[in-house]
């Protein structure tokens, strides 16, 4: 086996899905070809049920492909036995593992099992690798804690630590950010990013967290219509491919900032006047949420001005007179009551 080329993944005319019974085959992805370069961080994104997890499971050999093949180290995945595979590829899943009486250190040490003999005892070198992995995922002060005592984010980090201890060139992660709060999600993906850079690991993860995937990954595999659309995140934004993910739904994809918002029916018009600043931006956002079409500097209809003298306040100018509000909430309350 040529170890130098082991960070390179090739998908050759691969179809993935599952079989129901003998005849019935459900294809989720059909005849896809791609490759992942050494040290890349690839995000697999797509809507629920499009086959993100199935693709990841197929890539790490947990599931058979329907046709075509995956090549690691220039060898077909099918030709590798599970012991060889476990030294090239590691896997982190969505499942939160609850094992009673298992400590973080013991969990991460299980990552060394492809290298230990039948009794599973660790050598001093193994212990050093485990310590390094614990250090890399930032769990040094939690390593003697039981898994039942740490948070979901820490537990997921521990699972990644276990994959690091496995010391494979390739890491596949299925929804590593599911169940995590926003801060933990960013931390998690940033950890993956730095691992792919400093550790020179090839990392492929699935996620439906578009924002985070776009910010940190080198490359996106967007699953759409049983194919993958492949490219840098920015390529996919510019080409408008990402917005196809939202077609037919009440969702708008904003190409400027890759933001996603809900499509609303505009039922009334309102004007706004003032400086282009953070107050203006968020006031516009609030008015849009209330169903107004917002017109900049149009003072012929009811309009809102933002006054920043003596504390910020909002003034609504209508035919019937002007109203003063101390917060966007008060303004929106007034507008909502008026429309009812």
State yes or no: residue 178 binds other proteins (CB under 8 A): no
The answer to whether 105 and 140 have CB atoms below 8 angstroms apart is no
271 close to 297: Cβ distance less than 8 angstroms? yes
Which residue in 230, 208, 219, 277 sits closest to 29, CA to CA? Answer: 230
Check binding of 170 to other proteins (CB under 8 A). no
Least Å distance, CB 296 to other proteins, is 51
113 binds other proteins (CB under 8 A): yes
Considering beta carbons, is residue 83 or 278 the nearer one to other proteins?
83
Query: Pick from 17, 39, 46, 61: which binds other proteins (CB under 8 A)?
Result: 61
Of 15, 34, 67, 116, the residue at the interface with other proteins (CB under 8 A) is: 116
Write the DSSP symbol of residue 305.
E
The span of 8-16, 97-105, 224-232, 240-248 binding other proteins (CB under 8 A) equals 97-105
Confirm or reject binding of residue 99 to other proteins (CB under 8 A): yes
**Distance of alpha carbon 139 from alpha carbon 151, whole angstroms:** 12
Regarding 153 and contact with other proteins (CB under 8 A), the answer is no
The count of chain residues that interact with other proteins, using the rule CB under 8 A, is 40
> Tokens 């107004």 belong to which residue?
292
Token digits of residue 143:
């390593």
- Closest to 176 (Cα-Cα) out of 162, 166, 189: 189
Angle at 67 between CA 64 and CA 70, to 5 degrees: 65
- By CB under 8 A, name the one of 7, 54, 58, 166 that touches other proteins: 166
Pick from 37, 64, 78, 95 the residue near other proteins by CB under 8 A.
Answer: 95
* Smallest separation, CB 131 to other proteins (Å): 8
Q: Out of 2, 118, 141, 320, which residue is the one contacting other proteins (CB under 8 A)?
A: 118
Q: What's the CA gap between 269 and 195, in Å, rounded?
A: 50
CB closer to other proteins, 49 vs 120: 120
CA angle 298, 289, 265 (to 5 degrees): 85
Neighbouring residues of 134: CB distance < 8 A, sequence distance ≥ 6: 104, 105, 108, 140, 143, 161
Regarding 110 and contact with other proteins (CB under 8 A), the answer is: yes
DSSP type of residue 188: H
Q: Is 89 in the site for other proteins (CB under 8 A)?
A: yes
| Residue 119 is a binding residue for other proteins (CB under 8 A) | yes
Kindly tell me which of 81 and 320 has the beta carbon lying closer to other proteins: 81
Question: How many Cα atoms sit within 13 Å of 66 on the Cβ side?
Answer: 19
Q: Interface with other proteins by CB under 8 A: which range of 71-79, 118-126, 201-209, 255-263? A: 118-126
* Both tokens assigned to 161: 């630590």
Binding residue (CB under 8 A) for other proteins from 96, 232, 238, 251: 96
Output 81 or 297, the one with its CB closest to other proteins: 81
| Residue ranges in 17-56 that form contacts with other proteins under rule CB under 8 A | none
What is d(CA 262, CA 45) in angstroms, rounded to the nearest whole number?
20
Is 97 a binding residue for other proteins by CB under 8 A? The answer is yes
CB of 204 to other proteins, least distance (A): 14
DSSP string, 108-169: HHGGGGGGS-TT-PPPHHHHHHHHHHHHHTT-GGGTTSBGGGS-HHHHHHHHHHHHHHTT-S
Q: Judged by CB under 8 A, does residue 64 bind other proteins?
A: no
- Interface with other proteins (CB under 8 A): 60-62, 82-83, 85-87, 89-91, 93, 95-103, 105-107, 110-111, 113-114, 116, 118-122, 124, 127, 143-144, 148, 166
């Amino acid at each position: 086996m040529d170890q130098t080329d082991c960070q390179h993944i090739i998908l050759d005319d691969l179809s993935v899905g599952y079989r129901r019974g003998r005849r019935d085959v459900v294809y989720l992805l059909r005849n896809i070809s791609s490759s992942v370069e050494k040290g890349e961080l690839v995000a697999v994104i797509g809507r629920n049920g499009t086959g993100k997890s199935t693709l990841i499971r197929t890539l790490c050999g947990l599931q058979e492909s329907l046709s075509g093949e995956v090549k690691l180290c220039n060898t077909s995945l099918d030709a590798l036995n599970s012991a060889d595979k476990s030294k090239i590829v590691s896997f982190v899943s969505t499942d939160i593992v609850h094992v009673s009486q298992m400590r973080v250190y013991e969990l991460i040490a299980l990552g060394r099992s492809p290298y230990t003999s039948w009794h599973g005892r660790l050598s001093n070198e193994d212990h050093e690798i485990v310590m390094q992995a614990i250090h890399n995922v930032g769990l040094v002060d939690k390593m003697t804690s039981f898994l039942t005592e740490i948070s979901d984010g820490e537990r997921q980090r521990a699972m990644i630590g276990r994959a690091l201890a496995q010391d494979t060139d390739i890491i596949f992660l299925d929804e590593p950010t599911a169940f995590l709060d926003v801060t933990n999600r960013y931390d998690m993906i940033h950890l993956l990013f730095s691992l792919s850079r400093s550790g020179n690991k090839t990392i492929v993860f699935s996620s439906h967290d578009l924002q985070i995937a776009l910010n940190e990954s080198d490359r996106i595999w967007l699953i759409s219509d049983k194919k993958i659309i492949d490219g840098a995140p920015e390529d996919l934004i510019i080409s408008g491919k990402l917005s196809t993910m939202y077609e037919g739904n009440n969702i708008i994809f904003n190409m400027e900032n890759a933001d996603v918002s809900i499509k609303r029916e505009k039922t009334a018009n309102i004007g706004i006047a003032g400086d282009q600043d953070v107050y203006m931006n968020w006031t516009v956002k609030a008015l849009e949420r209330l169903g107004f079409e917002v017109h900049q500097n149009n003072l012929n209809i009811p309009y809102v001005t933002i006054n920043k003298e003596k504390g910020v306040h909002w003034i609504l100018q209508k035919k019937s007179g002007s109203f003063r509000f101390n917060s966007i909430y008060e303004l929106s309350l007034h507008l909502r009551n008026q429309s009812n």
